[in-house]
Amino acid sequence: MPLWGTTHDSATNKPKWAPTDENSDYSKGDIYATNSGWVQQAGTAASGNDRTTADPEVLVAIGGLAGISAATGLKTATVTSMRFVQAAYAAGSRTITVEVTWDEAITVTGAPQLVVANDSRADHTLSYVGTGSTANRKRFTAASQTVVEDDVLTIGGADITLNGGTLKDQGATPADASLVLSGLTAVTSTVTA
């Protein structure tokens, strides 16, 4: 099945036909692996169901794709992309929000963190938040009084740290690959007012 990835060791193992454009109804970020196969996140235009609590739509059935242990299926969850959702400076609101996407659903406990580098000031440590997160897309945010207009922020230079929390894949396996951002192309954003 050349259009559907089934290996665990590549950040490009998602379905190859889906676009990476976040504005597309069929964004690759909304597709992830379960033990039923590759699925489309519920509640998206592509799934045809606006209920986020519905079961995800199975796009292609591949039994055991997500695996039940670190030795089966994709074996380990892999970060496939990261992006800035918000990097804004406004009166009373200076917020940085980053979204990290995995190829499997991820269960989070506690407050894992990631670091956003700032080109001219101190780095920012963002903590996991459930608000806006989905099964395979997790958001990290921080309100920082040191963020100012025109700062250039970068993610991808440092990996996610657990900070006493956990990140687990479908097989409930805590996997090192689920924390790695440094292997991806760094993403930058200029803070706007």
**How far apart (Å, rounded) are the C-alpha atoms in residues 169 and 175?**
8
What the chain holds in terms of domains, given with CATH numbers, is: 79-190 (2.60.40)
**How far apart (Å, rounded) are the C-alpha atoms in residues 34 and 61?**
9
Q: Mind listing the pLDDT tens digit of every residue in the chain (193 residues)?
A: 455 666 655 555 666 667 677 777 777 788 888 888 888 888 776 666 667 777 888 888 888 888 777 777 777 788 888 998 876 666 666 788 999 998 888 889 899 999 999 887 888 899 999 998 998 999 999 887 777 778 888 998 889 999 999 888 877 666 555 788 877 888 988 887 6
Residue 107, SS3 per DSSP? strand
Q: How far is CA 85 from CA 7, 40, 95, 135, in A?
A: 28, 21, 10, 17
Phi, psi angle pair for 125, to nearest 5°: -100, 120
Closest CA to 177 of 78, 42, 34, 43: 78
